[in-house]
């Protein structure tokens, strides 16, 4: 059984995927978030960078102009710093808003809306040293190590060549005016960020592939787990088969009650059992048991027999023997022919007597 548990060759069922999702176990790549954040910063710089630089220069000029007029007291300095902080906050607010929106949209795009408190619950299995050792020698840890080396190498190379290209222009910054310095610095930051973004996209695509593949592998199930899940959700097949059999029997018994009116005689014992017997001359070779019941069903059969004029005969030995030996729609066994024939003759006589009585009354 342990080997079967380890043989997780089956893909995860939709139910298990949904349960993992409820627990917060979704395929989400942090490198995609990092690349998207850099892309947002770059987009904001391209769209609003000029105006932000102008407001920043104006803020710096205001700071220098008002520095000499600030009262030298705790209240005055505090108010002065608060005004500077508020101005800086409004300056960087577009970055924060854009990053927040992108984080929300990107999380929904990767895994949809997931609200779960399961990761916050304490898990004492994390203190298990055996599992800790297994994680040290897992493919996931090896991939993360290789990815870190790749990211460091790739990003270092991109930054080196990007800075090498913009560095000659930056060497002349001390000779330029402040607006020109800000413009040159902004252009250099855009160039470096654009190249770094391309490198981050490559790493992000690789990480997305690995994260999804790892989650699919972790969610795989053994055949035994699939069967157990099926039993938990839909019930044990043996129990379901038994219930279907019981329902068929109940349906058959309920349908057999409607056939009491077609019987020629109703054998009873006298309160607990009832059996409806039919015999059509020239059609049936032997008498046929078309309905039977016990307890409340037998009582209902007696009532139906009286309502439809079916003769009722009390014969305890015959009723008990036929109830145990014959099923519904089965012919009467040969050893009971004589007793059943007497019952049918009696029933025919009862019907003839009733018919004669009705004729005389009319």
- Identify the sign of the CA torsion 331, 333, 336, 342: positive
State the pLDDT at residue 189.
77
CATH 3.40.1690.10 positions along the chain are: 255-361
Strands across the sheet with 330-331, in order? Answer: 312-314, 265-269, 273-278, 288-294, 330-331
State the pLDDT at residue 5.
45
State the pLDDT at residue 27.
63
8 Å CB contact between 264 and 279: yes
CA distance 201 to 161: 18
User: Closest Cα to residue 84, out of 49, 122, 58, 54?
Assistant: 58
The pair of three-digit structure tokens given for residue 120, joined into one six-digit string: 């916050």
Q: How far from chain centre, in Å, is Cα 333?
A: 57
State the pLDDT at residue 4.
44
State the pLDDT at residue 242.
78
CA separation, residue 177 to residues 58, 116, 298 (Å): 14, 54, 110
302 C-beta neighbours (distance < 10 Å), count: 19
State the pLDDT at residue 257.
80
User: Closest Cα to residue 91, out of 59, 43, 46, 47?
Assistant: 59
State the pLDDT at residue 155.
82
Domain 255-361 is in which class?
alpha beta
Mean pLDDT, 10 residues at a time, the chain of 362 residues: 54 68 65 78 72 71 70 73 78 75 70 54 58 62 80 84 78 69 72 83 82 76 74 67 77 75 88 88 86 86 90 91 89 91 90 75 63
């Amino acid at each position: 059984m342990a080997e079967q548990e380890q043989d997780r060759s089956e893909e995860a069922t939709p139910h298990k995927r949904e349960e993992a999702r409820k627990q917060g176990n979704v395929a989400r790549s942090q490198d995609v978030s990092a690349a998207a954040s850099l892309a947002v910063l770059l987009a904001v710089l391209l769209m609003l960078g000029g105006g932000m630089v102008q407001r920043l220069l104006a803020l710096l000029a205001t700071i220098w102009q008002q520095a000499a007029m600030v009262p030298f007291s705790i209240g005055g300095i505090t108010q002065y710093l608060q005004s500077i902080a508020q101005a800086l906050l409004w300056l960087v607010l577009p970055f924060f808003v854009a990053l927040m929106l992108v984080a929300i949209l990107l999380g929904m795009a990767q895994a949809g809306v997931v609200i779960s408190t399961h990761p916050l619950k304490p898990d004492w299995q994390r203190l298990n040293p055996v599992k800790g050792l297994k994680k040290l020698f897992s493919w996931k840890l090896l991939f993360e190590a290789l990815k870190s080396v790749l990211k460091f190498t790739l990003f270092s190379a991109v930054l080196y060549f990007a800075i090498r290209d913009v560095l000659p222009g930056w060497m002349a910054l001390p000779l330029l005016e402040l607006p020109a310095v800000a413009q040159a610095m902004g252009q250099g930051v855009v160039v470096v960020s654009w190249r770094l973004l391309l490198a981050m996209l490559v790493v992000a695509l690789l990480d997305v592939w690995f994260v999804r593949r790892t989650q699919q592998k972790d969610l795989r199930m053994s055949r035994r787990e699939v069967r157990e899940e099926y039993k938990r959700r839909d019930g044990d097949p043996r129990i379901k088969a038994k219930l279907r059999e019981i329902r068929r029997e109940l349906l058959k018994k309920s349908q057999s009650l409607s056939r009491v009116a077609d019987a020629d005689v109703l054998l009873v014992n006298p309160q607990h059992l009832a059996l409806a017997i039919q015999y059509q001359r020239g059609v049936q070779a032997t008498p046929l048991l078309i309905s039977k019941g016990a307890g409340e069903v037998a009582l209902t059969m007696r009532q139906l027999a009286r309502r439809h004029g079916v003769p009722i005969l009390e014969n305890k030995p015959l009723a008990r023997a036929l109830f145990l030996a014959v099923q519904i729609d089965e012919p009467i066994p040969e050893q009971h022919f004589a007793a059943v024939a007497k019952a049918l003759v009696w029933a025919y006589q009862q019907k003839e007597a009733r018919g004669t009585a009705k004729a005389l009354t009319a």
